[in-house]
Structure 1
Amino acid sequence: MTQFTRRNLLVLGGAGIGLAACSNGIGSNGAAEIDARVDSTRDYLMSTYPSTKDLESKAAGVLYMPLMTEASFGVGGSYGRGALRIHNATVDYYSAASASLGFQIGAQQYAHALFFMTQDALADFRSASGWAMRADARYALPDRGGSLGTDTTTSLSPVIALVFGQSGLIAGASLAGTKYTRIIP
């Protein structure tokens, strides 16, 4: 059995993040392209899951991440860029990067949106130098019927994360974290 050293884990993690970054067009997309992707993602979300219109109208702000690319082979990584919108106007741009470790293999792309349901949650996000998803966030996933699982308990959460538009396949179990950082495209 092969024993992994820290150096091997770092190399594998870097390779996973590198793969994720390559298909995400790092360095080639400016603000206009990010905004165009966000517009398309928002339109898709609102037309596919109409209940998100009400969620968006109640939110203090929404961070749209139109294309997250993830790759893993034991150690994995993902990367994407998006825009924070308040009243559907872009106010900041962000990148999201994550690393994971565990029994996992595969690659996928997906979109996600973070709905900040309170002004305090939005202010915390915007004032942080790097914001990581915490326990006060709730995940809502679309079901096969096309509705989102946003019940009363979820809609009272400070942050609601919606993951949608998945393509590709990742299998396994892992521990992961995602960090959001403000960028200038």
Structure 2
Amino acid sequence: MRVAIFSILFLISTVFQPAMAASKAEIDAKVNGALKQLYTEIPSSKELVANSHGVLVMPEVIKAGFGIGGEYGEGALLINNRTDGYYSTASASIGLQMGAQIKSQVILFMTADALNAFKSSGGWEAGVDGSVALATLGAGGALDSNTLQQPIIGFIFSNKGLMYNLTFEGSKFTKLDR
């Protein structure tokens, strides 16, 4: 069933890609805005980003569902504060769900091996090809020390909407031709 849902999402994103696709300039502007918002909401993230080998920013991931759900977003991989490539994320789900939301996702590749594994994949799936440690804040807004030791750290923030889902599991990231 999961394969069927991914097939449907792939077909929809392939057929409607030209209509949905943002330009490089639009993606870059949204990526910069998302990083500024991340630094405002979680100030300690700025140092982590500076120390990472790569930063994948998905500024607007839209999720909607009524029994069967899906999500899609576009963003960029930054290496040394420069865009290295543009990516999309997509996932599908089945279960008790209804509503829609928009969220921002930032994934930090803290090791060269983690970044290289992501870049060399034909389609990288969170939880399968690499485990993403969701950043959690402890007392006083400090990041959890266990999270800081992980090779891949993720942030989900600015959640807007009536559906609430804070996970990377099942999200597939694919390089865009731009």
Q: TM-score range by the shorter chain?
A: 0.7 to 0.9
Once superposed, which parts of structure 1, at least 4 consecutive aligned residues long, lie more than 2 Å away? none
Q: Secondary structure at the match of 1:40?
A: helix
Between 128-137 and 115-124, the greater mean CA deviation after superposition: 128-137
Gap runs ≥5 in structure 1:
1-5
2:58 to 52, 58, 65: 65
Identify the residue that residue 140 of structure 1 maps to in structure 2. 135
Q: Give a deviation string over 1:55-93, Cα, whole Å, max 9, x none.
A: 112211100000000000111000000000011111110
The within-5 A match list for 1:142-157 is 147=141, 150-157=143-150
Conserved in 1, the CA contact under 8 Å of 2:75 and 2:88?
yes
Q: Give a deviation string over 1:134-172, Cα, whole Å, max 9, x none.
A: 2632112468x7x36x32211111111100000001269
What CA distance in whole angstroms lies between the structure 2 residues aligned with 1:91 and 1:171? 31
Identify the residue that residue 20 of structure 2 maps to in structure 1. 26
- TM-score, with normalisation over the residues of structure 1? 0.79
RMSD: 2.8
Gap runs ≥5 in structure 2:
none
Conserved in 2, the CA contact under 8 Å of 1:70 and 1:77?
yes
Quick one: which amino acid aligns to residue 26 of structure 1? M
- TM-score, with normalisation over the residues of structure 2? 0.82
After TM superposition, give the deviation of residue 54 of structure 1 in Å.
1.1
**More strand by proportion, 1 or 2?**
1
Q: Secondary structure at the match of 1:177?
A: coil
Identify the residue that residue 3 of structure 1 maps to in structure 2. none
Quick one: which amino acid aligns to residue 123 of structure 1? N
**Higher radius of gyration, 1 or 2:** 1
Q: Give a deviation string over 1:27-53, Cα, whole Å, max 9, x none.
A: 3x2111100110111111112211011
Structure 1 residues 14 and 141, CA gap change in structure 2 (3 angstroms): farther
2:94 to 97, 101, 115: 101
Identify the residue that residue 46 of structure 1 maps to in structure 2. 39
Q: How many residues align?
A: 165
Conserved in 2, the CA contact under 8 Å of 1:104 and 1:171?
no
